[in-house]
Amino acid sequence: MMMGLLGCGKGDQSYIPSVAVNFQAPLTDPRLNRLGSAGGAVIVNGYGVAGLIICRTPSGGWAAYDRCSSYQPEKRCAVNIDDTGLTATDPCSGSKFLLSDGSPVKAPATRSLRSYSIYIQNGLYLSVSN
């Protein structure tokens, strides 16, 4: 697997850079087993700009986001999952994001986290891509 990390150009430092993401794992993967049926989240490093957050939304759906904060993304500050599993916080700026849809709920961030497509294949495998 080959993956490059793109830097932000000086002209556009307002959003998370786009990088190729192709993560796959069986649903029996120990990292994913901790998600439960709703409201859990896990970090998967080595993908995206600053790693991935894969979560189960409160409605039982799936979501995947880049951990790179949308506030000053050129700093590549990785958000951390809060104790509730429902939000993530940027330790550099204090911005907070909902994991149900990636939207900011605490300033200074005004943009959502970069989201990725997530698929469940044959009820056995989870795939995250863009």
Structure token digits, residue 2: 């080959």
Per-residue model confidence as pLDDT tens digits over 59-85: 888 999 999 999 999 999 999 999 888
The CATH number assigned to the domain with range 24-129 reads 2.102.10.10
Which value, to the nearest 10 degrees, does the dihedral of the CA atoms of residues 37, 24, 66, 41 take? 20
pLDDT score at 37: 67
- Domain coordinates of the chain in residue numbers? 24-129
pLDDT score at 12: 38
By DSSP bridging, strand 96-98 and strand 87-89 are antiparallel
The segments of the chain whose pLDDT lies below 50 read 1-13
What's the DSSP call for residue 73?
G
pLDDT score at 8: 34
